[in-house]
Structure 1
Amino acid sequence: MIIESQHKSAIELDNLSIHFGSDESLVKAVDQVSFNVPEQQSFGLVGESGSGKSTILRALAGLNQHNDGNMFVEGEALQSKRDKAFYKKVQMVFQDPYASLHPRHTIDKILAEPLAIHGFKDSERRIAQVMEQVALPSKFRFRYPHQLSGGQRQRVAIARALILEPKILLLDEPTSALDVSIQAEILNLLNRLREELSLTYLLVSHDLAVVSYMCEQVAVMQHGKLVELLQVNSKGETHAKHPYTIQLNLASKGYDRKVIEEFIDHE
């Protein structure tokens, strides 16, 4: 159990706006979004494609610098360039594990590389430890990504994020590229790791059911704006009021005929 008094702010956004282009072609991908992620909690960003949720994650990771407003990690304002200390504290897991892993590097080299960059000497211990944490047998250590299944590759991607022992993970649709049967395994793994390692998650998904399962709070994004902030109760339920959130909730129940008949197009 997480003790309430421990809940300092891990991530804070204050009127964050992110734009692309200029003049007549200016696009506001994120429009004055503010929220706070308490330490050791899991916070979800949910919305359809183009809602701005992944853009926020990329801005936090320093991959997008066209922004206004303020971003804070553990109370410190983020500057335009991230230093090594930031990446020891904050790591990102991307949607497609095959695209995010170097195809010509063995798992061993993929895991050893961040340790070499940050000057860690105990690479042997750390690699063995992190593979055990993500339940990857040692026999996979000298294989290549194409020799692993999608779920195994995502475990490697999570292991790479964990190897520097960060406090915060940015999770960009970490299960959407996987078969449905494997998605639950990865979500359960992430839940276990958060509890064991006292991690903070900022999780992006288009699926309200996924974030409701994983998170204590959910921010609903539409057209770059935060339209509703939901609390998730002990049963994994949210009580949506905004029409868009209600439709997302219906969509998360799958392609059931009754659900489709209830669905309303709010475009």
Structure 2
Amino acid sequence: MNDNMPMVEVKNLDVTFDTGRHRVRALAGVSFAIAPGESFGLVGESGSGKTTVLRVLAGLIRQWNGGITVAGKPLTPDRDKDAKRAIQMVFQDPYGSLHPKHTVDRILAEPLQIHGIGDIENRMKDTLEQVQLGAAFRFRYPHQLSGGQRQRVAIARALILRPKLLLLDEPTSALDVSIQAEVLNLLAKLRHELDLTYILVSHDLAVVAQLCHRLAIMRTGEIVETADSEKLAKGELTHPYSRQLLTASKGFDRAAIAAFTDL
């Protein structure tokens, strides 16, 4: 892969859902590019389309139009095992995303078995160490773990295939505030150590500011503004909707977003 080539490039991504009675255009011409090793945030209210972008990249939505490349290779709805390994996702709910009757050992071994990857013992040991869990956790069940430990297992499951791109869907929103910072710090550490590229979906601008270099703000299926974390920290967002979202995130006016109308 050329060093000057984006790790992810999305061009004019469109997604329309046909509910039978209505057609809903969930994404309308979404475009962005992410450099290798960058952490990129997608921010917006529920229904803005940010999670739809993530689900397209993860292969969970197969009906879409536009162009996507990852590590210089075109991404299609029908992807091979190499493409599937290269892109892994960490879901919002660390309990719901882990099989309740499987041990951590089985949860981590299963992706390796599906992809025909050997050296399972060493891979599991190394990956558990990377997420700061010891070998003693291997034979525990999800209900025997705290919320933070479950999310570390979910991160380990995503990492064990050694992906290039990690998709993070509200990875700390289901955790206690005291645990959120630990998980965010771990994610920042892993990105640096493993040379990963992140796409983080969140409604929380503080989380995005901590973890991301740049962010795109979405509304009704479109990107209305792209900014770097410095502009976010300084409150220098320019689009009216972005400023409304920033105001609401600070708790000054929770009704501001609901009352927002197009200029």
Quickly name the TM-score band, shorter chain normalised: over 0.9
Task: Work out the CA distance in 2 between the residues paired with 1:67 and 1:124.
Answer: 39
**Identical residues among aligned pairs (%):** 56
Q: How does 1:1-267 map to 2 (within 5 A)?
A: 6-21=3-18, 25-233=22-230, 236-237=233-234, 239-254=236-251, 259-260=252-253, 263=256, 265-267=259-261
Task: Work out the CA distance in 2 between the residues paired with 1:152 and 1:249.
Answer: 31
**How large is the RMSD of aligned CA atoms in angstroms?**
1.9
Task: Work out the CA distance in 2 between the residues paired with 1:246 and 1:134.
Answer: 36
> Are residues 116 and 23 of structure 1, via their aligned partners in 2, closer, same or farther at CA, if it must alter by over 3 Å?
closer
* Corresponding residue pairs, total: 259
> Are residues 238 and 92 of structure 1, via their aligned partners in 2, closer, same or farther at CA, if it must alter by over 3 Å?
farther
Contact 2:14 2:65 in 1 (8 A): yes
- Per-residue deviation, 1:66: 1.9
Residue 96 of structure 2 aligns to a residue in which SS? Answer: helix
> Are residues 62 and 239 of structure 1, via their aligned partners in 2, closer, same or farther at CA, if it must alter by over 3 Å?
same
> Are residues 22 and 253 of structure 1, via their aligned partners in 2, closer, same or farther at CA, if it must alter by over 3 Å?
closer
Give 5+ residue unaligned stretches, structure 1.
none
Task: Work out the CA distance in 2 between the residues paired with 1:261 and 1:76.
Answer: 42
Counterpart residue type for residue 175 of structure 2: L
Residue 121 of structure 2 aligns to a residue in which SS? Answer: helix
Counterpart residue type for residue 260 of structure 2: H
Contact 1:91 1:161 in 2 (8 A): yes
Residue 115 of structure 1 aligns to a residue in which SS? Answer: helix
Task: Work out the CA distance in 1 between the residues paired with 2:186 and 2:234.
Answer: 21
Residue 230 of structure 2 aligns to a residue in which SS? Answer: coil
Contact 2:63 2:77 in 1 (8 A): no
After TM superposition, the score normalised by the length of structure 2 is 0.93
Task: Work out the CA distance in 2 between the residues paired with 1:250 and 1:187.
Answer: 23
Give 5+ residue unaligned stretches, structure 2.
none
Task: Work out the CA distance in 2 between the residues paired with 1:237 and 1:129.
Answer: 39
Counterpart residue type for residue 172 of structure 1: D
- Per-residue deviation, 1:89: 1.0
Residue 245 of structure 1 aligns to a residue in which SS? Answer: helix
Contact 2:58 2:89 in 1 (8 A): yes
